[in-house]
Chains A and B, each alone.
Chain A
Amino acid sequence: MNAIELTNVTVMLGGRPVVDGVEAAVARAEWVALIGPNGAGKTTLLRAIARLVPFSGSIALEGSDTKELHRAELSRLLAVVPQEPSTPPWMTVAEYVLLGRTPHLGTLAKEGRRDREAAAWALARLDLLEYRERRLGTLSGGEKQRVVVARALAQEARIVLLDEPTASLDIGHQQQALELLDVLRGESELTLVAAMHDLTLAAQYADRMVLLDQGRVAADGVPRDVLTEAAIARHYGASIDVVPVRGRVAVIPRRERSRAAS
């Protein structure tokens, strides 16, 4: 059984198909990078998988049709790390991570010992235990990113969707964040789907890439098959060189006009 299975998924926004008949599947514990130019529909597709936007077609998570699940059931299966998470400055790190327990609690319930253990575990995994009393408003961008991932972990969902998880991080923190996700994936059999702009970084970590353009799947396969000069030129309008490095591929932008010409 696949972790995620998309069948003919279409999302209409403003009368226009932003996601158009997408068919794709993600195996358990697989890491799939969702790539494509701005406006290709990556974020919208992630939102459809999380049932945050109406769609036609069907989406199944671990065999269950998302349309048949209660909101809380869905959230126990799937956690979302949004591109720009809301981090109320007055909230402490512990309070924020405990919010990840919401789908496990009744609407009227308070967190119990089991919930605090899950949150403590998530904080420990991200080296944040010392930060638990800190206010979110006092954290740096990289620290906030870790706190948001900790909240997703505390949710104990087997599938995690990430929208540009490294967008606001420097190269060191990008690497740390992705390494960590990779370790967690191995330990907890997490299935990861991440929308990413940095193709080289995506190629380093993803098992598979799905290239979206104008809402359709333009390519789907291992990074070295998807990232070709022709495909990038066609879908991104970019001229690049694809260079093999240690068994993976790197994408290097090519300057089109030489200095002398200008």
Chain B
Amino acid sequence: MVAAAEHASDVRARGLSPLWACVAVAFLLFALVVGVLVGPIDLGIGRVLESTAARLHLPGVSSPLSPTEEAILWQIRVPRVVLAALVGGMLSLAGATYQGVFRNPLADPYLLGVAAGAGLGATIAIAYLPEGLRGQRALPGAAFVGGAVAVVLTYAVGRSARRERDAATLVLAGVTVAAFFTAWQTFLQQQNAETLQQVYTWILGNIPSTGWSDVVLILPYVAVAAVVILALRRVVDVLNLGDDEAASLGVNVRRVRLALVVAATLGTAAAVAVSGLIGFVGIIVPHAIRLLTGVGYRALLPLSVIVGAGFLVLADVIARTALSPAEIPLGVVTAFFGAPFFALVLRTTRGGGT
């Protein structure tokens, strides 16, 4: 016992190592700076810093920017960058959570039907709501409700099956519900062909330049989801051993899984509501971190938030500048870089679970 006690300090789980935390934060800061500086109008890093200092009421500093430039910086670029960071962080956190909870390396945030439900909600809003109501409030609201309804339905279907293998049943229920909602959505879309373009644009995903309103809209959901998931991050490592072993280690598997899935799903639904369906972020970011660092979920989950936020900010920069003034759908950008990477992930994870 004496010898063992001496070694106690050596026996530890790899948490968030300072090195990787610094690398991730540096990446996010780099992305944020690029996101704020790059755009059709060159603001210049020095003048942006001065404007920021003026905003913070530092004595003796006044903003060198014209009122128009001020508006571009603070009402368009910064909120858009913040929104991209929130959506990206949320999607990769949700993806990593689902991968751990369902022990499936290919699980993404849309696994339980959020995407199909939100797509249906958005299609209904675009096709049936009067022109004036469609914009700002109604579309995200309808998408959010659609996504939430789909996941509740998935849970209901999964529970009614009462199978031994809870997690796998839930995933199957998700596939079923997603198929049903997608069929419904496709039908409505065909019936209202004149709205096809608008629905399509939404489905491919983009970060809107809507100022701070969307940030305010999703921030509470993303914050609550992140707090819940990060607080439970050690338990995700336990769940990764499977339901039986997690239960025999004293975890109330159903309750913890429900808390994690509800948190991840609410956050995802909020992100999807403002940005549409941005694919691959939730898969490639956690897998990239895993490949680079080899860490468990307790470190992977916080890293996913930080790196996912930075990744989507950079992807959004490409989406809005590559063919400026036109925007490439964000889902196209993430998938264009995501698909080759995903092929790599499939190669390296063959034969072994995560």
Where the two chains meet, the residues of A that have a C-beta atom closer than 8 Å to any C-beta of B are: 47, 50-52, 71-76, 78-80, 82, 85-86, 88-92, 94-95, 97-100, 102-103, 105, 107-111, 113, 116-117, 119-121, 123-124, 129, 132, 135, 137, 155
Contacts and interface: CB of A to CB of B under 8 A. Distances in A.
Contact of B3 (A89, A97, A124): A124
Contact of A120 (B4, B231, B245): B4
Interface of B: 1, 3-5, 7-14, 231-232, 234-235, 237-238, 240-242, 244-245, 247-252, 256, 290, 294-296, 352-354
Nearest to A116: B8
Nearest to B3: A124
B296 A90 contact: yes
Contact of A117 (B4, B241, B244, B352): B4
Contacts of B249: 75, 99-100, 102-103, 155
Sort A-B residue pairs by CB-CB distance and give the 5 closest, nearest first.
Answer: A103-B250, A75-B250, A72-B250, A121-B4, A80-B248
A75 B248 contact: yes
Nearest to A76: B250
Contacts of B294: 90, 135
A95 B238 contact: no
B64 to A, nearest CB: 47
A121 B10 contact: no
Contacts of A71: 247, 250-252
A9 B10 CA distance: 44
A132 B295 CA distance: 15
A124 B232 contact: no
Given A86-B245, A88-B353, A90-B294, A99 B238 contact: yes
A88 B11 contact: no
A109 B13 CA distance: 13
A47 B242 CA distance: 14
5 contacts: A86-B242, A88-B353, A89-B352, A102-B235, A120-B5
Contacts of B7: 120, 123-124, 129, 132
Given A71-B252, A100-B249, A132-B10, A90 B290 contact: yes
A119 B11 contact: yes
A116 B9 contact: yes
Contacts of B9: 113, 116
A120 B10 contact: yes
A65 to B, nearest CB: 17
A116 B245 contact: no
Nearest to B240: A88
A37 B10 CA distance: 44
Given A71-B250, A120-B4, A97 B352 contact: no
A107 B237 CA distance: 12
Given A103-B250, A120-B8, A137-B352, A88 B256 contact: no
Nearest to A121: B4
A70 B3 CA distance: 34
Pick from A71, A103, A110 the residue with the most CB of B within 10 Å: A71
B352 A120 contact: no
A151 to B, nearest CB: 8
B254 to A, nearest CB: 10
A132 B11 contact: yes
A22 B209 CA distance: 68
Given A71-B251, A82-B245, A82-B248, 13 more contacts: A72-B250, A72-B251, A82-B244, A92-B14, A100-B249, A102-B235, A111-B12, A117-B5, A117-B8, A121-B4, A124-B3, A124-B4, A132-B11
B241 A95 contact: no
Nearest to A52: B244
B250 A102 contact: yes
A108 B232 contact: yes
Nearest to A73: B250
A107 B232 contact: yes
A73 to B, nearest CB: 8
Nearest to B248: A80
A108 B251 CA distance: 11
Contact of B4 (A79, A100, A105, A123): A123
A34 B105 CA distance: 37
A129 to B, nearest CB: 6
A52 B4 contact: no
Nearest to A151: B249
A90 B103 CA distance: 13
Contacts of A95: 13-14, 237, 296
A79 B10 contact: no
A124 B3 CA distance: 8
